[in-house]
Structure 1
């Protein structure tokens, strides 16, 4: 079993937080305005409104991340989840997802949701394994969104 440590975000993590997300986004899609906002200024767009960012460390390297966006009224969005391609298949995404659910509960969440895309089949399988279910897709700030999933906590 590989050792994965889930860490709370520190400002020094911002370049890795950005790089991990930009890597997967540009592999499948294009960066959009909300991506730049959150990845360039996570303190302003994620943390200050009451959200959180988690980082995954494996063998001394930061290889994964995810964010929780505070949508208000006990609703949080799981967002900006990424695992380095070199570290995929090691259970890091699942460990991050479990830690994010736990962190959301600590932050007072009763409902967790996420936006995704049907092309990201591995990610969608992970979300289902974590207990998320498909729900109707609303209008989104992202053109790539065609899937919405939710989890009651």
Structure 2
């Protein structure tokens, strides 16, 4: 029953993350995703406690919903890229910017902790849980060199024109 309830919550959050909401709802979405990963991480920690954990099919299904190709994880990473690309509107307070900027690393940290728990559970149980995990998650948090060069050239042209 607990896995089914979390499965429904995962489905709703995945739909919201794919819809790329903006403004205050985006911050609430990030908070909800962070809380979900904390709760599900606690559930997986509870399951990994015994020496030979018993993996239920519902738990495997929930893992697929969280970390699979069509799961919450990829949708959240796409949402983070979208949220970081959005310009700040007028009248946005500095506190709100700081809260949202601090939320992203915490959310990624919780997601990575969850992935570590899945790896531990995979080793303990002998059940192939890694089939649901993406081997290499492409996070777009690196410097985009092409954009930096393009902006630098544009800025140089503007300075030369002045």
Give the structure with the higher percent strand.
1
TM-score by length of 2: 0.29
Q: Which has the larger radius of gyration?
A: 2
- Relative contact order (alpha carbons < 8 A, sep ≥ 6): 1 or 2 greater? 2
TM-score by length of 1: 0.30
